Amino acid sequence: MNIYLILFGAIAFEILGTMLLPATQNFSKPMPTSVLLISYGISFYLLAIVTQKLPLSVVYASWSGLGVFSVAILSYIFYKQELNWQIILGLFLIVAGVTIVNMNKI
């Protein structure tokens, strides 16, 4: 299986867990809390697999960068959180940085 598909799976589960944080209401709601914990567990498991094939710097830059980017966009859509031009510029720079890291693997 393509290692980048596993990495994108890890990113997707991390995003799911992060997006569920508000729904847990400080971990007082059992269902969203359970899904959150399972999502993070799967994410870290997939991340551990990926680190065996790709440099940790590439894996972590991709996982965290694309996670931050995606959570910001999804928070705008689902939670109506603000995206001003400074945030959009920062998100663009994150994507540019992750792209550069992946183009020049160590």
pTM of the model: 0.88
Q: Quick one: tokens of 26? A: 């400080």
What secondary structure does DSSP assign to 32-77, as a single string?
HHHHHHHHHHHHHHHHHHHTTTS-HHHHHHHHHHHHHHHHHHHHHH
Cβ contacts of 8 within 8 Å, gap of 6 or more: none
Distances 51 to 6, 31, 32 between C-alpha atoms, Å: 10, 30, 28
Range of the domain at 95: 3-103
pLDDT band, residue 105 (cuts 50/70/90): low
* Residues 72-101 pLDDT 10s: 999 999 999 999 999 999 999 998 988 888
pLDDT reading at 106 higher than 70: no
pLDDT reading at 56 higher than 80: yes
Domain count, the chain: 1
Question: Percent of the chain having pLDDT more than 70?
Answer: 97
pLDDT (0 to 100) of residue 43: 97
